Amino acid sequence: MKKNEATRKLVIEQLRKTPIVEAACQKAGISRMAYYRWKEDDKEFAKQAEEAILDGHKLVNDLAESQLIGAVKDRNLPAIMYWLRNHHPGYANKLKIEHSIEDETLTPEQEAVVREALRLAALNPAELTNSNQEQYEGNNNPGAHGSDDQGQASPSGDN
């Protein structure tokens, strides 16, 4: 059992250096299946492994940033542009949206659609199903629920 514990510690150490499970398992001489079985069976090991991977990511980020700064110092134009775009607000990518609204008045049809959408949005799924069923039955049987006609004018003007 002591060998197993030493191997687990080695895996954790390797994950801190290189946050890649496959690489850590190879260095420790175990399979990925064993690693994932340990994570499943041992919550403390799982917690340590996740923390080690986060530490490893921070290390890699530090290394990458160090390389980037070195490239900036070497006057590497793409590196300079990348640094400025991501660290200086004057060089950041910008999205400009222009739009003007001429008339905000809704037509009666648009108002009806908005009201129905708001009504449906307020319903829970069960009510929505019942509401759709009632609406379906109402559309197929116009006299089924009485007349709740809104009195829209016909094209000829007679109601």
Cβ-contact 39, 46 below 8 angstroms:
yes
Q: What are the domain boundaries of the chain?
A: 2-91, 108-140
Using one digit for the tens of pLDDT, what is the confidence trace for 1-45?
Answer: 577 899 999 999 999 999 999 999 999 999 999 999 999 999 999
Higher pLDDT, 110 or 157: 110
| pTM given for the model | 0.54
Residue whose C-alpha is closest to residue 38's, from 50, 46, 48: 46
Cβ-contact 124, 130 below 8 angstroms:
no
With a cut of 90, say whether residue 128 has pLDDT above it. no
Predicted pLDDT of residue 131: 57
pLDDT above 90 as % of the chain: 60
Q: What is the mean pLDDT of the chain?
A: 84
Using one digit for the tens of pLDDT, what is the confidence trace for 101-123?
Answer: 777 888 999 999 999 999 988 88
Residue at token pair 């290390």: 59
Residue whose C-alpha is closest to residue 10's, from 47, 35, 33, 40: 35
Residue 155 has phi, psi (to 5 degrees) of -55, -30
In angstroms, the CA 19 to CA 60 distance is: 8
